Copies of this chain bind each other. A is one copy, B any other.
Amino acid sequence: MAGLMRVKAPVAWRGLEHSHRGRILREMGGNCLAERFGRHIELNEHERAALTSIEDGERRFRRGATLRSEQGDGGDIFVVEQGWIFCSVLCEDGRRQIIRLHSRGDLIGLDDLAFAVAPDTITALTDVTVAILDKARLGQMFADHPRLAALLFAVMQVDRVMLTDRLVSLGRGSALGRIAALLLWIAARLRLTDPANDGAITLPLTQEEIGDATGLTAVHVNRTMRALDEQGLIARSGGIVRLLDEARLARTANHVRREEKFDLGWLPPAR
């Protein structure tokens, strides 16, 4: 009993970095945006160059650092290169809602394109490295590379659909279901960069943070994870959660597997 579910966050990310260090370092440095877009279409020389030119420097933040505040009047746009980031909103009563988690390849802060005041706070969940995007050059991309612009638009839909799924989870899911959904989502995310992952998650989240993400109390998160454990759906040990029965987890989470099968026939030709 003792020793289970010791998910001390600093340990968690350090463990993450440790176990993945080799791969991550290998992946880094490359153009994140190009890597992301390249998942869907074959980029030509010009397009690749354009994507590189949009990135305007790199920055690192330590766990807990604020990349953008709800109060602030907007700011930069980022692409996550390494580590985890989350977007959250603070309520009057001090409670917090985590809107979404982001990892390598995700675009963050796009709401700055439309709103003067940022809708959410962006925080580093682990130590992170991000590339900073230049708004004007992003605009230029729309002019010079319509195909990339259209693809960016499509990629954004993925993010929107994720929000949709989370909305259903929070609106209609039980505590069990919400946490199962979160775990499945994180596992899917890890498999994007590590397809061989067998369901072992070095959880980058504190139980309190899991609660903030699922709309639950830290206390209830604890009890619920114990329930998942006792039901044989997951196993926990020293900050690692292992998904034992993903099919059953998916059922309790009302999970829909979203294949990112892009229908890109409508894209304009490359330039």
Chain A residues close to B by CB (< 8 Å) = 74, 87, 89, 91-92, 95-97, 99, 110-117, 119-120, 135-136, 138-140, 142-143, 146-147, 149-150, 152-161, 163-168, 170-172, 214-215, 251, 254, 256, 258-263, 265-269
Contacts and interface: CB of A to CB of B under 8 A. Distances in A.
A104 to B, nearest CB: 19
A171 B95 CA distance: 10
A146 B142 contact: yes
B120 A157 contact: no
A258 B143 contact: no
Contacts of A74: 263
A268 B140 contact: yes
A95 B177 CA distance: 14
Majority SS of interface residues in chain A?
A: helix
A54 to B, nearest CB: 11
Contacts of A266: 113, 135-136, 138-139
Given A160-B111, A263-B113, A167 B168 contact: no
A179 to B, nearest CB: 13
Contacts of A262: 113-115
19 contacts: A113-B157, A114-B263, A115-B259, A116-B259, A117-B259, A117-B261, A119-B256, A120-B164, A136-B266, A139-B268, A142-B142, A143-B268, A146-B149, A149-B153, A152-B153, A160-B163, A166-B167, A167-B167, A170-B215
A164 B119 contact: yes
A81 B222 CA distance: 48
A149 to B, nearest CB: 5
B165 A119 contact: yes
A261 B214 contact: no
User: Which of A149, A164, A167, A170 has the largest count of B CB atoms less than 10 A from its CB?
Assistant: A167
A95 to B, nearest CB: 5
A154 B114 contact: yes
A165 B267 CA distance: 31
Contacts of A215: 170-172
